[in-house]
Amino acid sequence: MYFMISSLYAAERGAGPKTFVFLHGFGGCHGDWHEVISTLAPGSRTLAYDLPGHGLSLDFPGGGPAKAAARAVLADLAARGIRRVHLVGHSMGGAAAVLMALAEPETIASLTLLAPGGFGTEINGPLLRRYAAAADKSEIRACLAAMSGPQSPPSERIVDVLGEMRARPGQLHKLVEIAAAMTRGEIGRASSRANGSKRLICR
């Protein structure tokens, strides 16, 4: 089912005592996490977000940068009355997860980062901009393959999900806009504090 609070969308599943929150990477959406969520215990509550500027959160005000995503998700969790979560973030979603942990460490029960943005010194600007503008499935597939390891070909389901998302009016324009901000160093600046922070502890 889908929920909307201030135009930020999340797909919610389960109703257990523990809440797992999933933040996708740049150019992705909540559907990226389908296989992961399906492996969790049936009693687990999960929230898979569409980050600002992506998917069903396309029109979220000020959407795009990791900082905006972190603020938006924290506000959404507070509005839902959720006080503590197990947080999982990939790529740009990893950068947002780090910023959430820095801003409200008491909210984060555990932190799992998958190839998080902001921990390296360089961003592959040309590839990121190419991926942002990828409209057809063959180009999306090629970009995902270029960003993945040789033993990790992109899932055709993911290619289909991203193709459907990018077909929505205004989505490609927004992704190009976000990519331009990131290749100017937005993610690196946003989470650079995390590299030396003693507050960032997985609990």
In this structure, is residue 61 part of a structural domain?
yes
The tally of domains found in the chain comes to 1
Phi, psi of 30 (to 5 degrees): -60, -25
Answer whether residue 89 shows pLDDT above 60: yes
Q: What range defines the domain where residue 157 resides?
A: 2-196
In this structure, is residue 203 part of a structural domain?
no
Is the pTM above the cut of 0.85?
yes
What is the percentage of the chain residues whose pLDDT exceeds 90? Answer: 68
pLDDT tens column, 136-150: 999 999 999 999 877
Strands of the sheet containing 8-13, edge to edge, are: 2-5, 8-13, 45-50, 19-23, 85-90, 108-114
Question: Are the beta carbons of 153 and 42 closer than 8 angstroms?
Answer: no
Query: What is the reported pLDDT for 62?
Result: 77
In this structure, is residue 135 part of a structural domain?
yes
Terminal CA-CA length for the chain: 29
Say which CATH number the domain at 132 has.
3.40.50.1820
What is residue 21's three-state secondary structure?
Answer: strand
In this structure, is residue 202 part of a structural domain?
no
